[in-house]
Chains A and B, each alone.
Chain A
Amino acid sequence: MQVNSKELLKVENLHKKFGDLHVLKGVTEHITQGEVVSVIGPSGGGKSTFLRCLNLLETPDEGKIYFEGVDITDKSVNINIHRQKMGMVFQHFNVFPNMTVQKNITMAPVLLGKKSQKEADEMAAELLERVGLIDKLNEYPKRLSGGQKQRLAIVRALAMEPDVMLFDEPTSALDPEMVGEVLNVIKELVKTGMTTVIVTHEMGFAREVSDRVFFMDGGIIAEKGSPEEIFGNPQNPRTKEFLGKVLY
């Protein structure tokens, strides 16, 4: 694999086991700056685990992960510093219920010394304006709908000004009528050139926004390519079978 200065994330021979379950069986891949990658595939294929390994939410059993040229699997590396540059959005939002919308956003940047409270407040207002939640500034998450919570979660991650955004099935826990509002926010984000890795079951969305699509099955990237290649002319029989089931 050639060394590329624009290579933001590089994964080498990634293995992960949960007990006897071998979830990732050697994934080698790289993601370049500004790239939008969708990861699709059947449940249990290792998509989420792959994503969660990228910021070491799961510790790989084997293999290396380079982020901005640094091997973050090296035990001597302070992962907290690097995580500040990797935003993550979860299926179940995980917004902080005991904090207002504003505090959800400003807590981390202020606590970690990235911004003063005033700067963080200004940025929070700006970001909330962008995702249409400015009127919720002082509400608690309890009073938000699922779609609003997820938009808040996205904004919370953006407040750390990350270099890459990781989305772990961001719309899977949403009521159908709220999927659109969240996907629109992600679409806007992608337009700004944000490097994005998104695990999703929204095939239409993946096809529309991605530069590349990974099809993961059985713990490996079974097939990868442009959305046109993957959705238009899949080569791997498992990809064909999966897409046949998903795209009725």
Chain B
Amino acid sequence: MLANIEKVWNGYWNLFLTGLGYTLLLSFITVLAGCVIGFFLALMRMSKWEIGKVKPLSVVAGIFIEVVRGTPLLLQLYFFYFLLPDLLSFLDLSEFACITIALCLNSAAYVSEIIRAGIQAVDKGQTEAARCLGLDSRQAMIHVVMPQAVKNILPALCNEFVTMIKETSLASTFFVGELMTQYKSISGALYLTIEPLIIVGIIYFIVTFGLSKCVLALERRMNAGEQ
């Protein structure tokens, strides 16, 4: 088997690496877009704007977040894979684009909760002190709360990226070209199941393990800082 693994790697290493490239790209886009959308979702979720007794922004964001977190990612991928080309037929979306959008929205829900928790973990007294000095709520958020919240958010966000690297494997259901997709093609071409799987597994592990260690180091460095 070892010999086989070596043979498979030597024959197809460029495909594996292409797959890894797609996996990293997909995860990166997903978390980046997830951050932007998630930030606004978090702000919506925390908004105190009321009509009557209802906070419409908060409710809408809350429903979205709960639905996304309460249904399987694979289901969401199917949903957008079938829905988006119909809904946005004028855009002529590729499969890759549909899957990416679905992943982004999924990540946004999780990231928004990370951001919300990070902001709410900052002591309420900090906001009060800032407001008492005459800062408005936006200034207090930007200059006092966010710089402190970032320290809570950043490590969790990096972990979300690591999680996404693994989650994107579900996209292989739609053959979008990431690492698991490459596994399927290679194993199909060679009639070999275990050997390419081991290679793919090792690649996933090296990347996620390495990144997790980096996150730990980052966390330690931030804690060693002024706070």
Q: Assess the A80–B227 pair: CB atoms within 8 A.
A: no
Given contacts A96-B126, A96-B144, A140-B227, contact A80 B132 (CB under 8 A): no
Q: Which segment, of B53-61, B95-103, B135-143, B202-210, faces chain A?
A: B135-143
Interface of B is mostly: helix
A86 adjacent to B132 (CB under 8 Å): yes
Q: Which residues of A contact B148 (CB under 8 A)?
A: 96-98
Closest to B123 in A: A94
Q: Which of A57, A92, A142, A157 contacts B133 (CB 8 A)?
A: A157
Q: Does B201 contact A (CB under 8 A)?
A: no
A160–B129 CB distance below 8 A: no
Knowing A96-B144, A97-B148, A111-B139 are in contact, say whether A160-B134 is a contact too (CB < 8 A): yes
What is the bound-complex CA distance between A86 and B128, given in angstroms? 13
In this complex, the interface size class of chain B, counting residues with CB under 8 Å from chain A, is 20 to 34
Which chain A positions have C-beta within 8 A of B227? 97-98, 140, 142
A108, B133: Cβ atoms closer than 8 Å: yes
Contact check, A80 vs B134: say whether CB atoms are below 8 A apart: yes
How far, in whole Å, are A95 and B143 apart by their CA atoms in the complex?
Answer: 13
| Contacting residue for A90 out of B125, B134, B135, B143, CB 8 A | B125
Cα distance A95–B123 when bound, in Å? 11
Contact among B125, B128, B133, B151 for A84, CB-based, below 8 A: B133
Q: B226–A98 contact, CB under 8 A?
A: yes
Tell whether, in the assembled complex, residue A83 and residue B134 are in contact, meaning their CB atoms are under 8 Å apart: yes
Chain A residues within an 8 Å CB radius of B134: 80-81, 83-84, 108, 112, 160
CB nearest to A153 among chain B residues: B129
Q: How far is the CA of A56 from the CA of B227 in the complex (A)?
A: 30
Complex CA gap A142/B226 in Å reads 7
A65 within 8 A of B: no
Binary interface profile of A, 81-114, with partner B (CB < 8 Å = 1, else 0)?
1011011101010111110100000011001100
B21 within 8 A of A: no
A55 on the B face (CB < 8 A): yes
Are B132 and A57 in contact (CB-based, < 8 A)? yes
| A107 cross-chain contacts in B, Cβ below 8 A | 133, 143
Q: Is A151 part of the binding interface, using a Cβ–Cβ cutoff of 8 Å?
A: no
Complex Cα gap A84–B136 (Å): 11
Cβ contact of B129, chosen from A80, A96, A98, A112, cutoff 8 A: A96
Q: Does A64 contact B (CB under 8 A)?
A: no
Residue among B129, B139, B227 with most chain A CB within 10 A = B129
Instruction: Chain B residues near A95: list those with CB within 8 A.
Output: 129
Kindly provide the distance from the CB of A164 to the nearest chain B CB, expressed in whole angstroms: 12
By a CB distance below 8 angstroms, the chain B residues around A140 are: 226-227
Chain A residues proximal to chain B, CB less than 8 Å = 55, 57, 80-81, 83-84, 86-88, 90, 92, 94-98, 100, 107-108, 111-112, 140, 142, 153, 156-157, 160
Q: Lowest 6 CB-CB distances: which A-B pairs, in order?
A: A84-B134, A94-B129, A108-B133, A94-B125, A88-B132, A140-B226
Residues on B close to A: CB < 8 A?
Answer: 123, 125-126, 128-136, 139, 143-144, 147-148, 151, 226-227
Given contacts A107-B133, A111-B135, 17 further A-B contacts (CB under 8 A): A57-B132, A80-B131, A80-B135, A80-B136, A84-B134, A88-B129, A88-B132, A90-B125, A94-B125, A94-B126, A96-B148, A97-B148, A98-B147, A98-B226, A108-B135, A140-B227, A156-B133
- 28 inter-chain pairs at a CB distance below 8 angstroms, sorted by A residue, are A57-B128, A80-B131, A80-B135, A83-B131, A84-B134, A87-B132, A90-B125, A92-B125, A94-B129, A95-B129, A96-B126, A96-B129, A96-B144, A96-B148, A98-B151, A98-B226, A98-B227, A100-B226, A108-B130, A108-B133, A111-B135, A111-B139, A112-B133, A112-B135, A140-B227, A156-B133, A157-B133, A160-B134
